[in-house]
Structure 1
Amino acid sequence: MALFSRGIGIDLGTANIVVFVEGKGIVLQEPSVIAVEGEERSLVAVGEEAYRMVGRTPGRYQTVHPLREGVIADFGLTQRLLAHTLQRVCGRHPLVRPDVVVCVPAGVTSVERRAVLDAVLRAGARSCELISEPMAAALGAGLEVSEPRGRMVVDIGGGTTDVAVISMGGEVASASIRVGGNTFDAAVARHVDRTHNLTIGPRTAELLKIKVGAARAGAESRELEVTGAHRPSGLPKSAHVTSEALFPALDEPIQAILAGIRSVLERTPAEMAADIYEDGILLTGGGSLLRDFPQRVSESLEVPTRLADDPLTCVARGTGHVLESLARRGRAGAAVATRG
């Protein structure tokens, strides 16, 4: 049996799951994908192993993202994903169940929050606390959120973009936009299908986004040859895709994110808006790694914008600060807490 009493922080994202362990840091970072077999949905693979199976399995297998747009879409599979994750971190038979902090989008409903809490507790946690993703991202990026000063964080995940203005440990204004890295991938796939009559899988679309995609029309031109199924014939065929051709497809979801940031800025008190203009907007999350995204935000909103260090793990690292806070005030109350 494994003795395990450290707290665990989980960034439970649509695209990836990142796990922080008290005293160890980031210990796990992999796709939040699960592969199942048959009508009984027997577990086949989880995480990176399941991701390698996407688009490459016989009909009796399914590869599933149990979370969509930042919230639980399949409760049973989410619970199994969490249980598998906790087993990997804690051991199969821990003597002490862990206290867990989980990040959720800023705009989740009370029903969605309860679903996350229930899934984590049923997966084997002793207690569960929730923290909003932009607050966790701010903490993980090292921002001083307890000061009476406005800080703006934009966390672009796989399924959602969370925007928040933070001051004195609370969110002054926030929004959760159902647009993220997966939206970029889908836009890329539609572009290739429309312009080349070529159907490509999600992994190829993601590769195109990373290698060729850009958030600005004037970005350095890049080109990549991709292969897919030619739609009229169904035969394999390749096509060359350029940054210039891909930009209009990516621009639509980018505009939606910019509109969301603008709406939060418009609801921000004047003094805090001045703070944000002085300190700039902080971008976190995997979606913010799209080439030239900080420059696009800065040019469009006329507000300085920067990319956080290691934006993929900011949210998970932010849970470490929450775990430290729990340790300082003692875990007596946390053992029965299910507040968020």
Structure 2
Amino acid sequence: MSPTRRLMALDLGTARTRSLALGGRAVADRPSVIVRRTSASGGPEVVWPIRHGMVADPGACLRLVRMVLQDTCLYDSRPLERVLAGVPVAASRSDRRAVQAAVAEIAGCEVRLVEEPLAAAVGVGLDVIDPRPRLLLDVGAGIVEAVAIEGGAVVEAVALQLSATTGAGPAAYALEGVVDMTAGLLRRLPTASRPAARARGLVVTGGGAHQELLLRRLRAALRLPVSAAPQPQHATVRGLMRLCLRPALAGDLGRRAR
């Protein structure tokens, strides 16, 4: 890596966008919102460029990415060499292209995508290369994804899109849906894999991991160890930075269909 260039991790979330530059002192964390003037009235219009973790307004997303890059340039103005950006497992090819195009246009460098639950697992120190299954629930503001990870890949995944969240996570009416979805993930695992997955427990990441009621309901319904990761809202962006420093590993990680 050239000493004149730098690396950046980017987690574009529905409610908040988080970024981390190599050598940065802390995660930059800002609301995923853009305020623009309307042509009709000239008044302000509040736009949320990301919906369910995916690009909903490409123009506004470009502005959001530009502001995020400005955040990281406050202490380091060197040109970027590489950006790793997170995407939901549920993102389609067109969703992924939209993220990659928006970030590449503003960053002007190589942009790689990593599925967010996989990045979150790396961010909290899980051994994602282990061939034994590991369960993770990533609770974002717009999308919740439950995944099983084996051998460096997401081998099973289920997702629930949220229409409304609170500051602490999913709204009360959505909790049972999250629990049922996670139980469904367990049922989708091969019978031979379930004992190992259950014994290793479920790790919860994302801002919703702070919601104690959700954790209690998961424990009661799944009857397995459930733990919230430390600083769960920063798990994805920290994992992306760790992978940014290990590009060969980042390139090897990916979804593998059964």
Q: If the length of structure 2 is used for normalisation, what is the TM-score?
A: 0.88
Query: In the alignment, which of 138, 142, 154 is matched to residue 121 of structure 2?
Result: 138
Offset from partner CA, 1:7-54 (integer Å, 9 cap, x none): 1001110011111222336430121111112329xxxxxxxxxxxxxx
1:257 is paired with a residue whose SS is helix
What is the match of residue 131 of structure 2?
Answer: 148
Query: Offset at 1:297?
Result: 0.3
Structure number with greater Rg is 1
Query: Offset at 1:295?
Result: 1.6
Offset from partner CA, 1:119-178 (integer Å, 9 cap, x none): 001112301100111101100111011111110010000100011100110111012211
**Cα separation, 1, equivalents of 2:125 and 2:25:** 15
**Cα separation, 1, equivalents of 2:74 and 2:4:** 8
What is the match of residue 96 of structure 2?
Answer: 113
Query: In the alignment, which of 278, 299, 314 is matched to residue 220 of structure 2?
Result: 299
What is the match of residue 256 of structure 1?
Answer: 177
The alignment status of 1:283 with 2:200, answered yes or no, reads no
2:231 is paired with a residue whose SS is coil
What is the match of residue 21 of structure 2?
Answer: 21
2:11 is paired with a residue whose SS is strand
Report matched runs for 1:1-340 at 5 Å: 5-24=5-24, 26-39=26-39, 60-90=43-73, 94=77, 96-179=79-162, 183-185=164-166, 206=167, 210=168, 250=172, 252-326=173-247
1:292 is paired with a residue whose SS is helix
Assess if the C-alpha contact under 8 Å between 1:34 and 1:77 holds in 2: yes
One-letter code aligned to 2:11: D
Assess if the C-alpha contact under 8 Å between 2:8 and 2:80 holds in 1: no
Task: Give the total of aligned pairs.
Answer: 250
**Cα separation, 1, equivalents of 2:191 and 2:121:** 21
Assess if the C-alpha contact under 8 Å between 1:161 and 1:257 holds in 2: yes
Offset from partner CA, 1:229-248 (integer Å, 9 cap, x none): xxxxxxxxxxxxxxxxxxxx
Offset from partner CA, 1:203-239 (integer Å, 9 cap, x none): xxx4xxx4xx9x9xxxxxxxxxxxxxxxxxxxxxxxx
Q: For structure 2, list consecutive stretches of 5 or more residues without a partner in the other structure.
A: none
Q: 1:92 to 1:307 in 2, by over 3 A?
A: closer
Assess if the C-alpha contact under 8 Å between 1:4 and 1:90 holds in 2: no
**Cα separation, 1, equivalents of 2:109 and 2:89:** 24
Q: For structure 1, list consecutive stretches of 5 or more residues without a partner in the other structure.
A: 41-57, 186-205, 216-248
Query: Offset at 1:92?
Result: 11
One-letter code aligned to 2:142: G
Q: If the length of structure 1 is used for normalisation, what is the TM-score?
A: 0.68
Query: Offset at 1:271?
Result: 3.5
